[in-house]
Chain A
Amino acid sequence: MSISYLWVLYRAVDIDGDPDLFFLVVCGALVTGLLLGRFVGPVVAYLCVGLLAAGGTMLYASTIPNGYSIILSIDAFQTDIVALLTGLSIIQIINAGVWATAVAPVPVFLTAYFTARHRYGQATFVGCLALGFLILTGDVNTTIGLIGVLGATAAVGFGDLARHNTDLSGASALLVVLAVIVVLTSSLSLVPGGESTPILGGSDGDRAQTVEGSLTRADSQLSIQGSISLDPEVRFSIESDREAYWRVGAYDRYTGTGWVRTADDRSYNGSLSKPPGTTDTVRQRVRAESSISTMPAAWKPISVENRSPRVTGFDGLQPSEQLDAGDSYTVTSAVLRTEPAVLRNASTGYPDGLRQRYTQLPDSTPDRVDAYTDRVTANADNSYDTARVIERHLQKNWNYSLDVQRPDKHVANNFLFEMERGYCTYFATTMVTMLRTQGIPTRLAVGYAPGESVDGNRWVVRGLDSHAWVEVYFPDHGWVQFDPTPATPREQAEQTAANTTDSENDNAGSTTPSPTDQTDRNETSSNASHTPTPENQSQSNTDGANATNSPNQALPPDQDSTERDNSEDDPWIVLPTWEQILFGMIVVLGVVAAIRRSGVTTRAYRAVWLRRQPRSDPERDIERAFDRLVYLLEREHRPRQPGETRLQYVHEVGEQADRRMAEIYERAVYAGDPSQALADEAVEIVNRQVKRCSVI
């Protein structure tokens, strides 16, 4: 129970904070609670809780700017609480690690205190409050929640049993209940459609807070997917002076399995700041070709005409209401001139806050990522070269595939050392991680690849052009884009596209070479929408020169299904995670307990035992035959009375053949005169009787 909410808090700490300190604090609270529970009355304990809570709050407040004033102003405080309770993830809190460390001791202390006093109900209540809070913030996934519920049930149940000294049968009933909980809950989450559509299958286990979850805010993930599958043709078209990555948003906090944006949205106030470096002004006229909830624009947008969008954190644009087909807007972007020579000489004097925010990595990230990156970038002596080296390295040494097994955690680590292929999200995430190990501020950007160039200055962008890449910060210049996703498959795809007859396909930078009807199928997979390049690659690889419609059609559904497997079913079916092992054990225990209680095994064994008699020596045969007979008679007539010998019993209730059997038994066992003939006769008699009873 405690483990579940501590786990959530721990993850927050791990992503942004000092886990050792967290352990120390939690263990301290635990021990103190247990000790105080032994020796101290409730009043003192509540005082301690108050002190802990106040101390924690002050500690946390001291680490954030204007902290004390926020705490003192009740309004702001209330707003924050409400925001948290309505689904703001704790990972998005500023200094989430410190917050978690400050908050954790209170429930831990109380739980330990009540446990020490054998008040399991109250201990569980405290745990439930803590877990409930985290459920409301959306940080608890099904698994953790389930563990919490199981823990609560087990704590109350076993606590009660312990108090009343109930025997094992009560415990087995409880086990059955726990198993039922596990089975019901897990079958709920397996029901198709029971859970939100999986996104970016690869990188996120925790959908609410990862690329795509946050992409929802900027991008309205669901509507994108809807329109992709319905109208795969085109998402929007852009008239622009130059080709660019149409950016939608960016993410700063890496959780190991996904991405979180910790900055708040704000409203557009007429203009956005310009990057400090040398820029070219690029005007883009964007026309939505289907319903979209994002406003893609080349980095970095500085002004928007005839719309008043929301500005997501890190200057992504989002329409205040969904754009319908035909709606259009005009964005002016200041596109940074990326001249390697200049960027190589950029200073590394990053502002403190910026460095902290964009070099954050989960504390549990394995060291080998760091070591590996050091080796790869040994020859690079500035940030720009480092980024380029990593970009090339990833492009050269990893392949594309949509068919990936999602790692449990530390996507970058797994991608680097365990996997051979992946798609854009994997590449980009890995590159960000590697750069951050080198202390270079980096973030993940999402949006769309340029798409198909139509008239030289018009680009048509489809759902499957959606893409993820990397932005690296250079002081005095701004954020510079890098794309570690290999380009070759894209060129191959261009080739393929050129061969196809689709009139819309132009050869300039097209990333959507596939025939339309194939696209139809592909787009149903959510992953395809963010992974255009692998899509193309697999297609070009498999289809080669004769990329005609029909073979293409055969391929995508297959892909589709594997994708689904990856993103949805994996955590439950393929990978034996520790949760699965835990739940599996609970289920097995429950089933065993249930079987024991129902006595099914005994009955099944009896049924077989009654009907089948293996032969050994005559005496044992006769004994066993007699056992069977008595069992049979007991089932048919009355049970044997206490003290009644079996011989008496058989003579009493049995018929002629049974009495004969009793005689044989008597002679064999007590007169020590077993013979093969007698054994045969005995077995035969009993077999006949068993058969007769079975027929009736």
Chain B
Amino acid sequence: MTDNITAETMDIERAQTVARRVIENVEQVIVGQHEAVEHLVTSVLAGGNVLLEDIPGVGKTMLARSIARSVDGRFKRIQFTPDLLPSDITGANVFNQKTQEFEFRNGPIFANVVLGDEINRAPPKTQSALLEAMDEGQVTVDGETHPVPSPFTVIATQNSVEDDQTYSLPLAEIDRFMKRLHLGYPDEHEETELLGRVTGEHPIESLSSVATIDDIQTARRAVSNVRVEDAIRQYVTRLARYTRDHAQPGASPRGSVALLHAAQARAVLDQRGYVIPEDVQQEIRSVFTHRIRPVPSGDAPASIVTAALESVDV
């Protein structure tokens, strides 16, 4: 290795250390969801938002909270309900009696990690309040734009069982989540372990932060500096195009970008300064699947992604 990239290497090392620390920390609370935890951490490092979708009670909220607590940043939680209003999320201009002026009162969205719990319980109007923040890092209230803090990550959960009284997320919103993750049940051994941990004081109460905001910012820079060769860019493009040929719609260009960023974060997790095809392969399922709407009577999104992996030449 030559000297001029030694600095980069060090950045990557440090970023990897941060990521590993966060993962270890979270796993003190969460049992047996190693992959989900890694995915979550990589998307935080890649600057993406995550949608956790599963049946109730498998630890979606707990996972999100653990991540939030592991990072020494501001954490806000919004419980989505059918009567939740957009201003309940973004905040509103309030008349200040003392100064005789309207002043903006921050809503819960102004935090480093925002947990949107059961996001599909709120009507689309409210859901859309999240959109601007997720994509552009700012919210606009009454024509005034307010930047959200950085780093900013939305972790939303969604209940996939109860269909009544829910508003399924529009594709436009779903597309803004970098990843959608499923947790699934823990296996027998893991569940036993879990039960052992929750007796007495719940471990999350004693969870301390292991990374500062600065750490996260540095790690994010390192991730964005990870080298991506032509071959990888082509590979990602081909995969995306394949899904578009086999579904309506397939993965969007935003999806391709997300996949590339996620692959970069994955490379950092393996302490590599460059992306290899395996990184892409590891990330593609969580990044692409929720963006694909299969044609009627076509293959399920997951199998389309699998087919893409098998058909596109590496």
Contacts and interface: CB of A to CB of B under 8 A. Distances in A.
Nearest to A667: B274
A643 B314 contact: yes
B1 interface: yes
Contact of A644 (B273, B275, B314): B314
B229 A645 contact: no
Contacts of A646: 314
A611 B311 CA distance: 29
Nearest to B308: A643
A670 interface: yes
Nearest to B235: A645
A670 B314 contact: no
B278 A642 contact: no
B310 A670 contact: no
Contact of A669 (B231, B272, B278, B310): B231
A267 interface: no
Contact of A672 (B274, B310, B311): B274
A648 interface: yes
Nearest to B276: A670
A673 B6 CA distance: 13
Contact of A671 (B273, B281, B306, B311): B273
B277 interface: yes
Interface string A571-602: 00000000000000000000000000000000
A647 interface: yes
- In this complex, the member of A648, A666, A671, A672 whose beta carbon has the largest number of chain B beta carbons within 10 angstroms is A671
A645 B273 contact: no
Interface residues of B, number: 18
Nearest to B309: A643
A672 B2 CA distance: 12
A648 B274 CA distance: 16
A643 B229 CA distance: 19
B232 interface: yes
Interface string B290-314: 0000000000000000100111001
A669 B272 CA distance: 13
- In this complex, the member of A644, A648, A670, A671 whose beta carbon has the largest number of chain B beta carbons within 10 angstroms is A670
Given A645-B278, A647-B278, A669 B229 contact: yes
A671 B271 CA distance: 12
A670 B309 contact: no
A642 B311 contact: yes
A671 B264 CA distance: 12
Given A645-B281, A672-B229, A666 B276 contact: yes
B69 to A, nearest CB: 35
A671 B228 CA distance: 8
Contacts of A673: 1
B314 A671 contact: no
A642 B278 CA distance: 13
Nearest to A673: B1
B227 interface: yes
B231 A671 contact: no
Nearest to B277: A645
A648 B314 CA distance: 11
Given A643-B309, A645-B314, A670 B229 contact: yes
Nearest to A649: B314
Nearest to A666: B276
Given A642-B310, A642-B311, A673-B1, A647 B229 contact: no
Contacts of B309: 642-643
Nearest to B306: A643
Contact of B227 (A642, A643, A648, A671): A671
Contacts of B227: 670-672
B274 A670 contact: yes
A657 B273 CA distance: 23
Given A643-B281, A645-B281, A671 B274 contact: yes
Nearest to A641: B310
Contact of B275 (A642, A643, A648, A670): A670
A430 B227 CA distance: 87
B308 to A, nearest CB: 9
A666 B274 CA distance: 9
B246 to A, nearest CB: 15
A670 B231 contact: yes
Nearest to B231: A669
B239 to A, nearest CB: 10
B231 A643 contact: no
Contacts of A666: 274, 276
A666 B275 CA distance: 9
Interface string B110-128: 0000000000000000000
Given A643-B281, A644-B314, 18 more contacts: A642-B311, A643-B314, A645-B278, A645-B281, A645-B314, A646-B314, A647-B277, A669-B229, A670-B229, A670-B231, A670-B232, A670-B276, A671-B227, A671-B229, A671-B274, A672-B227, A672-B274, A673-B1
Interface of B: 1, 227, 229, 231-232, 272-278, 281, 306, 309-311, 314
5 contacts: A642-B311, A643-B314, A647-B276, A669-B231, A672-B229
